[in-house]
Amino acid sequence: MAQPQKVVVVGNGMVGYKFCEKLLNKAGGGSFSITVIGEEPRPAYDRVHLSAYFSGTSVDELTMAPASWYADNGIQLLTGECVLHIHPEEHCVITHTGRRVDYDKLILATGSSAFVPPVPGVEKEGVFVYRTIEDLDAIMSYAQKATRAAVIGGGLLGLEAAKATLDLGLETHVIEFAPRLMPRQLDAAGAGMLKRKMEALGIHIHLHKNTAHFEGESCVKGLAFVDGSLLEVDMVVVSAGIRPRDELAKLVGLGVGPRGGIMVNDELQTTNPDIYAIGECALHQGMIYGLAAPGYEMAEVVAHNLASAFSENGITKSFRAFDMSTKLKLIGVDVASFGDPFCEHTPHDTIVVEDKLKGIYKRLNVTTDGRHLLGGILVGEADNYNMLLQMVKNQLILPPNPEELVMPVRQGESTGTGMGVASLPDDASICSCENITKGRICEAIASQNLGDMAAIKKCTKAGTGCGGCVPMLSDLLTETLKKQGKTVKKVLCEHFDYSRQEMYHLIKMSGTRTFDEVLEKHGKGCGCETCKPAVASMLASIYNDVIAKQAVIQDTNDRYMANIQRGGTYSVVPRVPGGEITPDQLITLGIVAKKYDLYCKITGGQRVDLFGARVEQLPFIWEELIEVGFESGHAYGKALRTVKSCVGNTWCRFGVQDAVGYAVRIENRYKGIRAPHKLKSAVSGCTRECAEAQSKDFGIIATEKGWNLYLCGNGGIKPQHAVLFASDLDDDTCIKYIDRFLMFYIKTAEPLQRTATWFNKLEGGLDYLREVIINDSLGICSELEQEMEYLIETYHDEWRVAVETPEIRARFTHFVNSEEADPSLAFVEMRGQKRPADW
């Protein structure tokens, strides 16, 4: 019996592990004796999802396979050991401990290291790279004494690092040498959209910046730029790219590219045929691949070729130029590029969809005859990424209206394109990481009776890499089972074989009170980002336990029991049930706000009601309120009640306009104006509509270009949405239209007729109203504006007049011939305050 061939793998990252897995699957036991040597103190872990470590994901959860897996498969795993020398003539390597390991075939999977620019002062304390778990531990430790962090690098890794520092509560700045973020993946428009979304989250972006040196003595205190500017920070994370780990190759005289990287042929052999290089250390046809998928394909090629050497009719595989399409979520923002995103050297036509209000940018590059998709860019929304990528790879014919592929689809509508996973050819590569085709997946589902995602992953390995193909796998499962006449059971996720309703009842019946207990009793595996928050929600609904007990499976807001806001700070919002609040509570709010220098704002209807005042007390109460600047709120009148607002872009990470400032201007303009019925208004700082403007008599919603004006909404017994009257108005034009609208309503409505009812009976409806207000079809707009200006100019505070006018003030008595109070008034204590006694 032939001796097993000795294979030594230098490097135990994702690609090194994947090579071992693939070689075992292809060759079985006995053909090879495998030794893996890794510098890090632990087995391979998932670097793609490394940032999850900051949000509570453990090292064990990131680990691709435990040490026991290597032992169970006969692999010798040496961790914490560094190879210092290769001796090709003796077919052995020497580690830093002096250990000699012999090989027949040597696989270099040394990966890459973080590129650190040779900037003076980079060695100072407080400067880190973002590469390993140890790096992340050091960053978290140092962040406890830091306040402002700079991340050098605005690419994929840089923005991941920025998310980490933001999550650590630091003021975060991103420094990018190029004129745009992610210059290798995004064009100027897409990068601009991403920049706006990053800034809305509180991340400061500095483009076209070249660092001259690091400020500070022993510790970093700032960054000095070539243009003379200075940024004060007390922590720096360098994430400016990667550098292939090719030092061993250089020592032994293997071919290395002029800019680094171990030169390999199509079979991934170096200039020494018994030494291979795979992953980020390999230079293939002048290209270094920094993604997991091409690294996995390299592992596949070498494993296949080594295993094939033992078969009689082995067919050699070759590695070809690999598609660098990628989709990821950066700080909650979908970003993707596929095919040829720029088409700089290819004749093409471009389809662009841009919605600045929603933060969405989509670009499709199509052939000049409109038949094929060449590539594209997606920012803010990337739901169609997988299908678009398959259209590029398989050269599918585009539908008659290709713009429909990226246009938003309303609920219940169909795109009409007829494109879906079922339309793909069998040789379409669904899982790029493992290069698994549609045909192979469908065949496995049918022949192996696979009924869920977990079974598909286990059987085919599809979906076990980055996870981007999982939606398409789900669609394939559904389609294949339908063809077999089977129904698909909708389950929570691969870890729980139950629907949400079933899970709810199982938890309640079993009495399980933690995620771990639920997983052990009803699930399998470790859980995921889908099932963890879902189970947490069910636990809270059933038991109403302190939510902090489930912190490990909640998002940031639930974890800290506060909403994260622009700049990384949190909002503190005490509940005030029914709007009632004690004087002591009011005072305490003020004390706390002053003590911690907090921004204060009344929410909801933006009022504080004080009940129980006797009629003769009213002038005295208002005298004190007026003294500190209060005016009548007209709660008693058929007039403007409130102009509700959210905090807008002053604080909110989603806001695009100053909602508070504009609401104040609107309310001060129309206060005191009497109308056929009460008037309510609101100003929302973005389309998330926190001020509920579309339920008001006139509501205003911010856009990137200005304001959208909605008219004739109504709450109450018969709620009615306001209608969009005009879009993207500037401040003054919006007010001009409101002036005209209010005066037209005041002039034409019936008594006690709200604007919604008035609008419903308006002959001609919205088109007529626009003709009157915008196009002045009746020739009365000038008159309406003059009448409104008069009301504004003659405004007076009714309560100030009452307090300062003796004859009016004298009216405030209960008895016309006595100043005594009403003796029949009676109150009872209720929740620490008083209320009228029952009749």
469 among annotated binding-site residues: no
Q: Are residues 106 and 129 in the same domain?
A: no
Question: According to the model, what pLDDT value does residue 359 have?
Answer: 85
Measure the CA–CA gap between 58 and 60, rounded to whole angstroms.
Answer: 5
More confident residue, 6 or 621: 6
Q: Are residues 753 and 610 in the same domain?
A: no
More confident residue, 145 or 818: 145
Q: Are residues 811 and 785 in the same domain?
A: no
More confident residue, 273 or 527: 273
**Domain-located, residue 409:** no
Out of 403-417, 596-610, 699-713, the most confident range is 699-713
Least confident of 14-18, 84-88, 466-470, 765-769: 466-470
Measure the CA–CA gap between 183 and 164, rounded to whole angstroms.
Answer: 21
Q: Residue length, the chain?
A: 839
- CA neighbor of 158 nearest in space, from 182, 180, 178: 182
Long-range contacts of 260-269 (CB under 8 A, 24+ apart): 260/288, 261/288, 262/108, 264/319, 266/318, 266/319, 266/320, 267/301, 267/302, 267/305, 267/316, 267/317, 267/318, 267/319, 268/298, 268/301, 268/302, 268/319
User: Would you give the end-to-end CA distance of the chain in angstroms?
Assistant: 103
> Is the CB of residue 233 less than 8 Å from the CB of residue 266?
no
431 among annotated binding-site residues: no
**Domain-located, residue 217:** yes
**Domain-located, residue 219:** yes
Q: Are residues 803 and 776 in the same domain?
A: no
DSSP state of 157: H
In this structure, the number of other CB atoms found within 10 A of the CB of residue 23 comes to 25
Q: Mind listing the pLDDT tens digit for each residue in 486-502?
A: 776 677 888 898 887 78
Point out the domain boundary residue: 240, 269, 287: 240
List all residues 6 or more positions away from 593 whose beta carbon is below 8 Å from its beta carbon: 600
Tokens of 498: 């139950």
Amino acid at 533: P
Point out the domain boundary residue: 220, 240, 260: 240
Measure the CA–CA gap between 564 and 571, rounded to whole angstroms.
Answer: 7
Measure the CA–CA gap between 284 and 87, rounded to whole angstroms.
Answer: 24
Pairing of β 262-264 and β 282-284: parallel
Q: Provide the β-strand partners of residue 235.
A: 149
Q: Provide the β-strand partners of residue 327.
A: 336
Measure the CA–CA gap between 488 and 32, rounded to whole angstroms.
Answer: 42
What's the whole-model pTM score? 0.60
Measure the CA–CA gap between 259 and 685, rounded to whole angstroms.
Answer: 49
> Is the CB of residue 129 less than 8 Å from the CB of residue 299?
no
Least confident of 300-314, 432-446, 698-712: 300-314
Which phi-psi region, left, alpha or beta, contains residue 716 (left: φ > 0; alpha: ψ -120 to 50)?
Answer: left
More confident residue, 387 or 669: 669
Q: Are residues 73 and 53 in the same domain?
A: yes
Identify each DSSP E strand in 112-260 by its residue range. Answer: 112-114, 127-129, 148-152, 171-176, 204-207, 211-215, 222-225, 230-232, 235-238, 242-244
Helices 453-460 and 438-447 cross at an angle (nearest 10°) of 110
690 among annotated binding-site residues: yes
Q: Are residues 91 and 56 in the same domain?
A: yes
Residue 645 phi/psi, 5° resolution? -150, 155
Nearest 5 degrees, angle CA 222-CA 226-CA 227?
A: 100
Q: Are residues 528 and 544 in the same domain?
A: yes
**Domain-located, residue 99:** yes
Q: Are residues 666 and 783 in the same domain?
A: yes
Q: Are residues 662 and 789 in the same domain?
A: yes
Question: According to the model, what pLDDT value does residue 623 have?
Answer: 85
Measure the CA–CA gap between 398 and 419, rounded to whole angstroms.
Answer: 9
547 pLDDT band (50/70/90 cuts)?
Answer: low
Question: According to the model, what pLDDT value does residue 827 have?
Answer: 76
Q: What's the domain count of the chain?
A: 5
Q: Are residues 657 and 541 in the same domain?
A: no
3-class DSSP state of 351? strand
What mean pLDDT do residues 233-242 have? 93
DSSP state of 432: T
What is the pLDDT of the chain when averaged over all its residues? 86
Spell out a b/e string for 505-543, using b for 16 or more CB atoms within 10 Å of the CB, else e. Answer: ebbeeeebebbeebbeebbeeebbeebbbbbbbbbbeee
Question: According to the model, what pLDDT value does residue 566 have?
Answer: 52
> Is the CB of residue 453 less than 8 Å from the CB of residue 473?
yes
Structural domain range at position 692 = 638-793
Measure the CA–CA gap between 476 and 471, rounded to whole angstroms.
Answer: 9
Q: pLDDT at residue 301 above 80? A: yes
Least confident of 124-138, 263-277, 428-442: 428-442
595 pLDDT band (50/70/90 cuts)?
Answer: confident
Q: Are residues 211 and 274 in the same domain?
A: no
Question: According to the model, what pLDDT value does residue 238 have?
Answer: 95
773 pLDDT band (50/70/90 cuts)?
Answer: very high
Q: pLDDT at residue 275 above 50? A: yes
Q: pLDDT at residue 839 above 70? A: no
Tokens of 385: 């990424």
Kindly give the residue spans of alpha helices, DSSP state H, lying in 561-646. 583-595, 618-627
Q: Mind listing the pLDDT tens digit for each residue in 790-834?
A: 899 988 888 888 889 888 888 777 776 777 777 777 777 877 776
Question: According to the model, what pLDDT value does residue 365 have?
Answer: 95
Question: According to the model, what pLDDT value does residue 549 have?
Answer: 60
Q: What would the DSSP string read from start to end of 551-568?
A: GGGS-HHHHHTS-B-GGG
What mean pLDDT do residues 213-229 have? 95
- CA neighbor of 451 nearest in space, from 459, 439, 461, 440: 459
What mean pLDDT do residues 666-695 have? 92
Q: Percentage of the chain with pLDDT > 90?
A: 48
Out of 199-203, 531-535, 541-545, 560-564, the most confident range is 199-203
Residues 457/460/462/465 CA torsion (nearest 10 deg) = 80
Spell out a b/e string for 180-219, using b for 16 or more CB atoms within 10 Å of the CB, else e. Answer: bbbbebbbeebbbbbbbbbebbbbbbbbebebbebbbeeb
Point out the domain boundary residue: 221, 240, 259: 240
Q: Mind listing the pLDDT tens digit for each residue in 326-352?
A: 887 776 688 999 999 999 889 999 999
Least confident of 132-141, 253-262, 535-544: 535-544
Q: Percentage of the chain with pLDDT > 70?
A: 92
> How big, in percent rounded to 5, are the helix, strand and coil portions of the chain?
35, 20, 45
Half-sphere exposure of 766 (CA within 13 A, CB side): 10
More confident residue, 601 or 792: 792
Least confident of 259-268, 387-396, 419-428: 419-428
Out of 318-332, 715-729, 779-793, the most confident range is 779-793
**Domain-located, residue 740:** yes
List all residues 6 or more positions away from 8 whose beta carbon is below 8 Å from its beta carbon: 34, 35, 36, 37, 93, 101, 102, 103, 105, 106, 107
DSSP state of 818: B
Measure the CA–CA gap between 242 and 153, rounded to whole angstroms.
Answer: 11
Q: Mind listing the pLDDT tens digit for each residue in 560-588?
A: 566 655 555 667 777 665 556 778 888 88
- CA neighbor of 683 nearest in space, from 675, 692, 674: 692
646 among annotated binding-site residues: yes
More confident residue, 221 or 748: 221
Question: According to the model, what pLDDT value does residue 105 have?
Answer: 96
List all residues 6 or more positions away from 76 whose beta carbon is below 8 Å from its beta carbon: 34, 35, 36, 70
**Domain-located, residue 810:** yes
Give the domain CATH number at 156. 3.50.50.60
Sign for the pseudo-dihedral over CA of 514, 518, 520, 525: negative
414 pLDDT band (50/70/90 cuts)?
Answer: very low
Pairing of β 640-645 and β 436-437: unpaired
What mean pLDDT do residues 173-185 have? 93
Question: According to the model, what pLDDT value does residue 576 have?
Answer: 62
Q: Are residues 211 and 248 in the same domain?
A: no
